């Protein structure tokens, strides 16, 4: 479902002014069929950045057209994985600083103001990277406990940063100290519960397949302890119960994802090992 009007505080309209900002900053976004989100995302950086780069992996909707309306340079690239795709997008930017956003994210006005203040002086920002606290909109309300706070490194010196991958999860790393900015990175996560479940299974499968590629042993105990650990962390330690029924859904969806990740990994490892060892009687 779409967020209500009050959750979308931007009035910017498409046009060339969207990339006429004074900051030595580029915004990079990767997309595929994000027509419902990309306009909100790019509106939140309109007038703030000098360059917008969108790397699209084959959208069949109006994603690319909307991005171009906001002055973005749209580049097609076949899908190669999250970290590789985001690294490619960063490499296409020319500004010394990078703001990396997902298509379903947008800068809150307070976060935008914090970035403007960071570059307001005559000197360069003091740190190599800056985290922004992400606030997620989920099934009609903001999630303020289960997935919050969620600090994400999004603003970095481009020559000191790189995208990495660990067990199927992409993350942005920098060479140097990291500080935190005020305001929120607004995350408009899932259209509905079905979309959430589909995406959870999809990402769990990708993580599991990547985990299975190595030779490291995958303990069967992970099928139990990984989901249990997720539930304890989200529902109890982060007080997900304070998010009401949304907190219950989020905690148990994470339990499911944790279980499926290792289930998919074990399945893939078994299939790989079976292919290496022919059954008795075969040559």
Predicted local confidence at residue 282, as pLDDT: 55
- Those residues whose C-beta lies under 8 Å from the C-beta of residue 63, and which sit 6 or more positions away, are 31, 32, 33, 34, 35, 38, 54, 56, 103
Q: Does 15 have pLDDT greater than 80?
A: no
> How high is the pLDDT of residue 54?
98
Q: Residue 203: is its pLDDT beyond 60?
A: yes
What's the CA gap between 277 and 283, in Å, rounded? 10
Return the pLDDT at 156.
Answer: 97
Could you read off the pLDDT of 57-78 as tens digits, one per residue? 999 999 999 999 999 999 999 9
Check whether 229 has a pLDDT greater than 50: yes
- pLDDT tens per residue across span 129-156: 999 999 999 999 999 999 999 999 999 9
Percent of the chain clearing pLDDT 90 (strictly above): 73
Rounded mean pLDDT of 46-64? 96
In this structure, are residues 160 and 127 in contact, taking their beta carbons and an 8 Å threshold?
A: no
Q: Mean pLDDT over all residues of the chain?
A: 88
| Mean pLDDT (whole number) for 121-129 | 87
Domain residue spans of the chain: 5-188, 193-276
Q: How many CA atoms lie within 13 A of 40 on its CB side?
A: 22
Cβ neighbours of residue 133 closer than 8 Å, sequence gap 6 or more: 148, 149, 150, 151, 152, 180, 183, 184, 185
Residue 211 is predicted with a pLDDT of 86
pTM greater than 0.85: no
Of residues 104 and 210, more confidence is placed in 104
What is the pLDDT averaged over residues 45-67? Answer: 96
* Percent of the chain surpassing pLDDT 70: 89
pLDDT digits (tens, 9 = 90+) for 171-193: 999 999 999 999 999 999 898 99
- CA gap 276, 17 in Å, rounded: 58
The pLDDT of residue 16 is above 50? no
Confidence (pLDDT) at 278: 62
Q: How confident is the model at residue 18 (pLDDT cuts 50, 70, 90)?
A: very low
Which class does domain 5-188 fall in?
alpha beta
Within 10 angstroms of residue 257's Cβ, the number of other Cβ atoms is 21
| pLDDT score recorded for residue 8 | 39
Tell me, what's the pLDDT at 214? 78
């Amino acid at each position: 479902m779409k967020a209500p009007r009050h959750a979308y505080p931007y009035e910017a309209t498409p046009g060339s002014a969207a990339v006429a900002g004074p900051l030595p900053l580029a915004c990079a976004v990767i997309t595929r069929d994000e027509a419902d989100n990309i306009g909100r995302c790019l509106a939140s950086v309109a007038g703030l950045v000098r360059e917008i780069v969108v790397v699209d992996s084959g959208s069949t909707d109006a994603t690319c057209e909307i991005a171009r309306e906001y002055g973005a340079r749209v580049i097609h690239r076949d899908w190669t994985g999250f970290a590789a795709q985001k690294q490619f997008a960063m490499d296409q930017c020319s500004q010394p600083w990078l703001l990396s956003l997902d298509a379903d994210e947008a800068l809150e006005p307070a976060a935008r103001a914090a970035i403007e203040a960071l570059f307001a002086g005559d000197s360069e920002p003091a740190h190599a990277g800056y985290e922004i606290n992400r606030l997620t909109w989920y099934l009609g309300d903001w999630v303020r406990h289960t997935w919050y706070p969620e600090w994400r490194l999004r603003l970095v010196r481009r020559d000191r940063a790189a995208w990495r991958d660990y067990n199927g999860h992409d993350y942005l790393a920098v060479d140097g100290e990291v500080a935190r900015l005020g305001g929120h990175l607004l995350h408009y996560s899932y259209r509905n519960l079905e979309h959430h479940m589909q995406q959870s299974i999809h990402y769990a499968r990708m993580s599991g397949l990547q985990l299975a590629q190595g030779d490291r042993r995958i303990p069967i105990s992970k099928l139990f302890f990984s989901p249990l650990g997720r539930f304890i962390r989200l529902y109890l330690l982060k007080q997900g119960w304070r998010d009401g029924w949304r907190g219950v859904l989020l905690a148990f969806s994470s339990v499911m994802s944790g279980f499926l990740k290792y289930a998919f990994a074990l399945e893939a490892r078994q299939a790989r090992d079976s292919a290496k060892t022919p059954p008795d009687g075969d040559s």
